[in-house]
Amino acid sequence: MAFTLDLGQKAPEFNLPATDGLTYSLSSFEGTPWLVVFFTCNHCPYVIGSDEVTRETAQKFISKGVKFVGINSNSINTYEEDSFPNMVKRMDEYKFPWNYLHDESQEVALKYGALRTPHFYIFNEKRELVYTGRGVDSPRDTSKMTENTLELVLDALTSGKQPPYSKTNPIGCNVKWDGQDKHWMPAEACDLV
């Protein structure tokens, strides 16, 4: 079996605390036609570089039934900046239009097969995976961006059209796995295309 969730597979369940003081599971988003789950964090330059573009994309599609959920699975033993209190501070400061969840055990990152920060997954109303991969083609420096892949895919999906991509390789820092070197990735983790 592939490390990363494959197209058509169901969204794995989660039950995680969020920066707003609530706990969220998949069922918290029932009735939402499209769910974007993305693995993110506080410190990664690829996340920081592209968060404002992700914000614009999330805001653009709210009215089209798209909900964004960010999950931070990074080990605080690797980067203290990724701690839950720092997640709360970051959301207080930036007020991003998504729920920001903490996966301290890293179980959810493993279930989804998260490769990088950021790594995006789009699920349909049946919570089947229809896209996995990057948000934009230059997340570290969006002034060099030539394509907002996530927006192209969501434009197509919310218009009932075939998206231009179903898989791309996420671009960013690898997930920081607890007890491992900061550059370590599981042996079975590999590019998606």
- Model pTM above 0.85: yes
DSSP designation for 10: B
Interval 77-121: pLDDT, tens: 999 999 999 999 999 999 999 999 999 999 999 999 999 999 999
Domain that holds residue 34: 9-189
Instruction: Assess if residue 171 is contained within a domain.
Output: yes
Ramachandran category for residue 166: left, alpha or beta (phi over 0 → left; psi -120 to 50 → alpha): alpha
Confidence grade of residue 1 (pLDDT, cut at 50, 70, 90) = low
Instruction: Assess if residue 172 is contained within a domain.
Output: yes
E strand segments, 41-145: 66-72, 99-102, 116-117, 119-123, 129-133
Question: Minimal CA–CA distance to 142: which of 58, 51, 47, 49?
Answer: 49
CATH (domain of 107):
3.40.30.10
Question: Minimal CA–CA distance to 11: which of 32, 21, 20?
Answer: 32
Instruction: Assess if residue 1 is contained within a domain.
Output: no
Instruction: Assess if residue 3 is contained within a domain.
Output: no
How far apart are the two ends of the chain, measured CA to CA in Å?
16
Mean pLDDT of the chain: 97
Number of domains within the chain: 1
β-strands 66-72, 34-40: how paired? parallel
Mean pLDDT of 133-158: 98
